[in-house]
A and B are shown apart, each in its own frame.
Chain A
Amino acid sequence: MTTKKARVVVAMSGGVDSSVAAALLLREGYDVVGMMMRLWSDEALGGAQHNRCCTPDQMSDARRIADQLGIPFYVLDSKDIFRNTIVNYFIEGHRNGYTPNPCLECNRHIRFDWLLNNALALDADYLATGHYARVSGDVDSGWALRRGVDVNKDQSYVLSVLGQEQLRRALFPVGEYPKSEVRRLAEELDFDVASKKDSQDLCFLGNNDYRDFLSLHAPDVMSPGPIVTTDGLVLGEHQGLANYTIGQRKGLGISYSAPLYVLAMNPFKNALVVGLREQLGRDELIAEQVNWLRGEAPAAPFRADVKIRYKATPQSASVIIGQDGRAQVAFDEPQRDITPGQAAVFYDGDICLGGGVIAKFDSELSAVV
């Protein structure tokens, strides 16, 4: 009599990481099923070749890897739900003066909800991805999300939206390895994708810049408006708020006696607010819609390392839990590029505690706690 092997659906992108993830799981004896989500096909931009993720190339790469491994491979049509949740979130965020991070929302709503549920319906026990992160723990003590072994590649930031129910089902096989080792494994396995470049930008943009994307799908957020100082002095015209990021100095096209930096976007007046370097630093932020991986907020304020961008270095801060899923983060040192819409993610060493979306700096928001 044979015991039934645990089944795992691997989200395959055709890239190195998810391909090696599938191979590692197979090696560990799982019943592995490869799956790719068809997320987007931007007809207006001239068809599928314009989005890098899930283009026919990516798909045939993934299919080829699956064949090589001898596992089934399926493509799940996810276009409607992706457009309705992630793409709209991205556009609406920009429209409201945020710089949204759709990858987190995608993990929250698409990968670890829609895809996970499709996997479970397929009698899978787990969902695996090629993220550089780790899960540890057990049923009794609960599950913890930890940073990947390769600190430079760590992707726990974009997974900070998960909960216990998802962690219980999640496998991140490459999180246990440095990237160099993953590439070596890919070569050893004779994967054609071994030398492929890492993906950089948002998957649905393809070869296009996010600005081109917004010009096409939300032209209103790309309309010119005034560049103003905090005193209300108009210095010039910007080319659409979504073109700029907080802390940006170059490319503003204005002249002033001192270097000026982007401080904020005001979507209601379509104004780009600029100021001096010393006005840029902030030592506090409010995070909204905060998610706690343990499933509940810590009872008392605590010290944590806080990451404010995917690629930022974690900074020491005190975190105070507020009402309505908010948290106040007070940094030990002022931070120059706190960007509303990006996530603030809290760490205790290599354990990811949770995170939330950075709120806009409204004066009344500072009174949340």
Chain B
Amino acid sequence: MKDRPEAYLDYSASTPVDPRVLAAMMPYFSEVFANPSSTHRFGRQAERAIEDARATVAAVLNCRPSEIVFTGGGSESDNLALRGAAWRARASGLPSRLITSPVEHSAVTETVAQLDQLMGFKSEIVAVDRYGLVKAEAFAEACRRGGAMASVIYANNELGSINDLPKLAAIARDSGILFHTDAVQAGGQLSLDVERLGVDLLSLSAHKFYGPKGVGILYVKQGIDLASALTGGGHEAGRRAGTHNTPFIVGLARALELAYQERDERLAHFQKLRDRLIRGVLERVDPAELSGHPEHRLPSHASFVLHGIDANALLMHLDMKGVAASSGSACKTGNPEPAATLLAAGYSAESAKSGLRLSVGRNTTIAEVDYAIEALAEAVEKLGKVQREWAS
């Protein structure tokens, strides 16, 4: 028992590496250390590990191994997908419009913004509903006007809401527009069957599903010719240069494999605790309103708008009580902006500074959840008093 109670409820930000994953990675740091691109037997041994990993990932995604590109993480996958497709479209004289949503991860938002500002692409941002879900009619409207590609997040990191990818991807396909999804938050929880989803490109990051940080994948449907956003040696079929990080790639594959083998138990656990958390918070914390979709949301994910409470100050109070949480406007520099996601979902600028996310994981216990609810209730009461006194 620890001196002070603690509750880590920020698994959407990162998860610990599963010991089985770590064990799978270990031999590839020093025993099987050779460069997988080398001709010799040592290199071939490493290469085999990478190709096994690729096959494992492909099985989960229901795709061909050759459609998997290993990257340095989710942000890199998003960059490669967007920049690679945009540059290729430019080289081929295709339309230069990029269609996206206002609730994307910043790896997508900022890449699109840069393509828009520096490279002459035109970004079009499609409206979302109050849960942060892309409106299909608006998306269809945008697609009818043509474009190089569309990118829509699978499950939003702040609100947890799950977009209807099969529907949106079909709309894009009908207009001949490439469809990318950032599935980083969805990884390990939602179906990644690319056939069923109908996506052309999909980004994942290992550390969201009990794998190591700094490794991810981009699924690239066969036949799509991406311009490399990281040029060099011909690694990953010329799409991502750089010596393979063998242990991390092995770790990613093992983590993904375990996540989908054990998915039913994990999700049942997540959901049970998540529901207890939501119930408790709504019951005990006065200004709390559930944000994001009540049903179509990540099983591990709870998010709230705490009206009248500065979420950044709240995180400090929660941290002092040993509770790890996150806010949409998360900012360690005391200069918080209203969370763009909440603004897009129709919340006021004031409410958009009061978003709180609590996310459960495999190690979360009922005791932790109950402690966090009490800690949150107490913090909100004390902080609310100070903030009300100074409001106006």
A residues engaging B (CB < 8 A)? 33, 36-38, 41, 48, 54, 56, 59, 63, 72, 74-79, 81, 114, 117-118, 121-123
B382, CB-defined interface residue at 8 Å: yes
Residues in B neighbouring A36, C-beta threshold 8 A: 334
Which one of B49-57, B169-177, B309-317 contacts A?
Answer: B309-317
Q: How far is the CA of A48 from the CA of B383 in the complex (A)?
A: 27
Q: A77-B310, A117-B389 are in contact. Are A59 and B333 (CB under 8 A)?
A: yes
Compute how far the CA of A41 lies from the CA of B312 in the bound complex, rounded to whole angstroms: 17
Alpha-carbon distance between A123 and B317 when the two chains are bound, in angstroms? 9
Q: How far is the CA of A345 from the CA of B319 in the complex (A)?
A: 41
Question: Do B335 and A77 touch (CB < 8 A)?
Answer: yes
CA distance A355 to B17 in the complex (A): 60
Q: Are B385 and A77 interface neighbours, CB within 8 A?
A: no
B336 touches A77 (CB 8 A): yes
Whether A118 and B386, one on each chain, are in contact in the complex, defined by CB atoms closer than 8 angstroms, is yes
A36 vs B331: C-alpha distance in the bound complex, in angstroms? 13
Number of A-B residue pairs, CB cutoff 8 Å, is 50
A76 touches B333 (CB 8 A): no
Contact B319 A72 (CB under 8 A): yes
What residues make up the interface of B, taking CB atoms closer than 8 Å to A? 310, 312-313, 316-317, 319-320, 331-336, 382-383, 385-386, 389-390
Q: Is the interface of A mostly helix, strand, loop or mixed?
A: mixed
A56-B333, A76-B334, A121-B385 as given contacts; A114 in contact with B316, CB under 8 Å: no
- Partner of B383 from the list A63, A72, A74, A121 (CB cut-off 8 Å) is A121
Known: A74-B316, A77-B336, A117-B390; 10 extra A-B contacts, CB below 8 A, are: A33-B320, A48-B335, A54-B334, A72-B320, A76-B316, A77-B310, A81-B390, A118-B386, A121-B383, A122-B317
Closest Cβ of chain B to A304, distance in Å, is: 35
Q: Are B390 and A114 in contact (CB under 8 A)?
A: yes
Chain B residues positioned under 8 Å from A81 (CB to CB)? 390
Q: CA separation between A37 and B316, bound complex, in Å?
A: 13
Contact residues in A for B386 (Cβ distance below 8 Å): 117-118, 121
Residues of B with C-beta under 8 A to A59: 333-334
How far, in whole Å, are A236 and B361 apart by their CA atoms in the complex?
A: 75
Report the separation of the CA atoms of residues A121 and B383 in the bound assembly, to the nearest whole angstrom: 6
> Which chain B residues lie closer than 8 Å to A76 at the CB level?
313, 316, 334
Question: Which chain B residue lies CB-closest to A37?
Answer: B334
Complex interface: chain A residues within 8 A of B317 (CB): 121-122
How far apart sit A227 and B213, CA to CA, in the bound complex (Å)? 68
Closest to A109 in B: B390
Contacts of B331 in A (CB 8 A): 75
Q: 8 tightest A-B contacts by CB? A: A38-B334, A75-B334, A74-B316, A121-B382, A77-B334, A121-B386, A117-B386, A38-B335
Cα–Cα distance between A230 and B312 once the two chains are bound (Å)? 55
A89 to chain B minimum Cβ distance, whole angstroms, is: 16
| Minimum distance in angstroms from B361 CB to a CB of chain A | 23
Report how far A168 CA is from B335 CA in the complex, Å.
31
Is B389 a contact partner of A77 (Cβ separation < 8 A)? no
Give B313's nearest chain A residue, CB to CB: A76
Q: Which of chain A's residues have a CB closer than 8 A to the CB of B313?
A: 76-77, 118
Tell me how far the C-beta of B5 lies from the nearest C-beta in chain A, rounded to whole angstroms: 14
* A114 vs B383: C-alpha distance when bound (angstroms): 12
Q: List 26 A-B contacts (CB under 8 A).
A: A33-B320, A36-B334, A37-B334, A38-B333, A38-B334, A38-B335, A41-B335, A54-B334, A59-B334, A63-B332, A72-B319, A72-B320, A74-B316, A74-B319, A75-B331, A75-B334, A76-B316, A77-B310, A77-B313, A77-B334, A77-B335, A81-B390, A121-B383, A121-B386, A122-B316, A123-B320
Rounded to whole Å, the gap between the CB of A121 and the closest CB of chain B is 4
Q: Is the CB of A75 within 8 A of B333?
A: yes
Nearest A residue to B392, CB-CB: A84
B212 to chain A, nearest CB (A): 24
Q: A59 to B382: give the CA distance in the assembly, Å.
A: 26
Give complex CA distance A56, B385 in Å: 30
Q: How far is the CA of A79 from the CA of B383 in the complex (A)?
A: 17
Query: Which residues of chain A are near B389, meaning CB under 8 Å?
Result: 117
C-alpha gap A121/B331 in the complex (Å): 20
Contact present for B390 and A122 (CB under 8 Å): no
A78 touches B320 (CB 8 A): no
